[in-house]
Amino acid sequence: MKNLFNKLIASLKKEIKILIHDKVALILLFALPLFLVFVITIVQDSTFRLVNDNEIELYVLNADKGDKSQQILHLLKESGNFKVEEIHSISKEELGAKIIKDNYLIGIFIPENFSKSIEDNLEKINNEILEGFGFLEEEDKEMTEHLTSNASDQIKMYYNPIVQDNFRESIAYSISMYFQQVESNLILQQVFENMGFSGEPEKLKESLFAMESQLQQIPASNKANAQIPNSTQHNVPAWSIFAMFFMVVSLGASIVKDKNSGNFIRLKTIPGSISLTFIAKTILYIIVGLLQLSLIFLMGIFVFPQIGLPPLRLPESIFPLFIISFLSALAAISYALLIGTFSKSVEQANGFGAVSIIIFAAIGGIWVPSFVMPEFLQKIGNISPLKWCLESYYTLFLQSGSWTSLYSNIITLSLFIIGTQFASYYKLKIDHYI
Amino acid sequence: MQELVRIENIEKKYKNNSFYSLKGISFNIYKGEKFGIFGPNGAGKTTLISALCGTQSNYKGSILYKYAAEYITVSAMKENIGYVPQDFAFHEELSVWDNLQYYGAIYGLNRIKKQEKIHELMGMMQLEEFKNRKLLHCSGGIKRRVNLAIALLHDPKILFLDEPTVGIDIDSKMGIMQYLENLNKKGMTIVYTSHELHEGEAFCNRVILLNQGKIVLEGKLPTVLKENKVHNLEALFLKSIRNEKFV
């Protein structure tokens, strides 16, 4: 037994020395994951801020002669969300080309008869209200039937094709809200005028706007003192899992190298030594995986706040976090062992290993949340080990979950580990390595 | 002569091959011999050596070792077998010292015995000045010496050498062959295969010649040369390639 332990220690020492001497593998295992999580969190946070906090540069080509478009432009400028630049002396057709040339994201075209359309629309609505009260004359009724224009339909929003759909939809929605606000204001003003008041009372106007419902957003949680989700809480666990599974490139290749070198041939003449090599690799890479996670989490806790990113807040229950991290690392290692034992060359292991992890990450909800995917893809995503790890981390980091909410993922991950380890063992057995 | 290995009717056919790599192979190896296995490329030399030292196990027939008056299987004999594969069987990323330390521990040597053996082998193979050098940065000659030193760490009773001197300069080659001679004088049985026929002729005292997986000739080297009316192993080898009849 002591002899076996000494052999295991020797195998572990050897694996550590090989890893320490491989500078590229060290960069791949430690520096790149830190950099990846760092960059992705900044990018995701910036996207969030771009829509919510930053001023978006906006070209406005205003062909309208009336005052309604000016009111809207005033509101857009006052909002603080847009940096409005009015442009003149170009046609509607040239607006698109100017956006691309000047590297702007969005341009708005307000047509010539915009104010007139709004006024017609207002009159129609106004008459419908008065008709409801029974105040409308017969001749006014006939006139209302001819008023059919819709002002908002005539506004054109040009966008740079590099703008992604979700970002574009947010801006379009935001601009529409300002148009609606102006139209509502004008309707109110018109109704008061028709009722014989001079303009709408300021107090009523303020009260009406104060009534606008603001949704209070509360994260669903298993505990009262839940963390507020932010880009850090979402990205750090997700991309840490991705980075950890990417050890398939280093570990898978190391197994293929051992298999294809004379080492395994020599080790075959020493009973039990190949199994010890695999156990040593597993122990070392569990340490590597947990070290990767610790470094990324420490970066989230201490470095992110220094650069204006939200800090990472660890779950209250550290023990479940350790168990999930341990199982995630072991799942990543077992997958790398499987790839390494089945691959015939380093190129095969690296190519298949890396691409398969990218696919697992994509369908597992690492890049975009699973719930936005088509239903069939969500079902396929259930086979991704990265998804099981991610769901477990989200349960801990975002939903303050307990052991009971982790059971199903712990069982699935354990079965995956047993299955892949057994498949690797079987492959080594049929290849007569053990 | 004391029998050490009894090989009976070995047959081996690889999955995708239509022909047998080894067919009806039977012979004995005796204690203290310098035994040579020769033949053209694809004759089955490496497959036979692999079977003899236990890295190839799915074959028909039997290989038994006589150890302490009993016949035992290859698996049971493994601790007493030294194997020098044709490929370098060490970690090139590690130093000479680290490789010897690792394999010493894997062979199950205790700390004191391991250090003694490593120092002894490094001294005899003139590896001391390269002790801390990574094998990646060592010459072919040093790599061959380390490849051999690792196989000797556990003092094996029988040593299998598959092309032990391929790709190295004449000085290193002579050094290795001299060291093998010394080991044999101390009682170690050596089974050797090589393309270097002059080297084999000078070193081995008994040979088998393989062709297309079969033994075409077996015996003491001076006797087989005389019986076949050739002057050296090279001529014997050419005769086997041309499928000429042996005596």
**E strand map for B70-227:** 70-72, 81-84, 158-162, 189-193, 206-211, 214-220
d(CA B230, nearest CA chain A) in Å: 37
**pLDDT over threshold 60, residue A348:** yes
Of B90, B93, B150, nearest to A22 by CB-CB distance is: B93
> Confidence class of residue B227 from pLDDT cuts 50, 70 and 90?
confident
d(CA A27, nearest CA chain B) in Å: 17
Q: Which residues pair with B160 in a beta bridge?
A: B83, B191
Of A18, A269, A273, nearest to B83 by CB-CB distance is: A269
Q: Look at residue B64 and give its three-state secondary structure.
A: strand
**To the nearest whole percent, how much of chain A has pLDDT over 70?**
85
Q: What is the pLDDT of residue B187?
A: 92
CA B184 to chain CA mean position, Å: 13
Q: Which residue has the tokens 């060291």?
A: B179
Of A18, A268, A273, nearest to B91 by CB-CB distance is: A18
Q: What is the mean pLDDT of residues B167-172?
A: 81
Could you tell me the pTM of the whole model? 0.77
Q: What is the pLDDT of residues A232-285, one digit of tens each?
A: 888 888 889 999 999 999 999 999 988 888 888 888 888 778 889 999 999 999
Secondary structure of B66-89 in the HEC alphabet? Answer: EECCEEECHHHHHHHEEEECCCCC
Q: Please, what is the average pLDDT of chain B?
A: 89
Q: What is the mean pLDDT of residues B112-127?
A: 93
Q: Please, what is the average pLDDT of chain A?
A: 83
How far apart (Å, rounded) are the C-alpha atoms in residues A187 and A123?
8
**Nearest C-alpha neighbor of A279 from the set A309, A315, A300, A255:** A255
**Per-residue b or e along A318-338, where b marks 16 or more CB atoms closer than 10 Å to that residue's CB:** eebbebbbebbbbbbbbbbbb
Chain A residues within an 8 Å CB radius of B151? 266
Query: With contact defined as beta carbons under 8 Å apart, do B190 and B159 qualify?
Result: yes
With CA atoms as reference, the chain B residue closest to A275 would be B106
With CA atoms as reference, the chain A residue closest to B103 would be A10
How far apart (Å, rounded) are the C-alpha atoms in residues A203 and A211?
12
**pLDDT over threshold 90, residue A176:** no
Q: What is the mean pLDDT of residues A127-137?
A: 71
Query: With contact defined as beta carbons under 8 Å apart, do A409 and A241 qualify?
Result: no
Token duo for residue A388: 């099981």
Lowest mean pLDDT, pick from A354-358, B70-74, B221-225? B221-225
Q: What is the pLDDT of residue A273?
A: 84
Query: With contact defined as beta carbons under 8 Å apart, do A22 and A247 qualify?
Result: no
How many helices (DSSP H) and strands (DSSP E) are in chain B?
9, 10
**pLDDT over threshold 70, residue A139:** no
Query: With contact defined as beta carbons under 8 Å apart, do A163 and A106 qualify?
Result: yes
> Confidence class of residue B64 from pLDDT cuts 50, 70 and 90?
very high
Give backbone dihedrals phi and psi of A375, rounded to 5 degrees, phi first. Answer: -60, -40
**pLDDT over threshold 70, residue A212:** no
Chain B residues within an 8 Å CB radius of A21? 93-94, 134
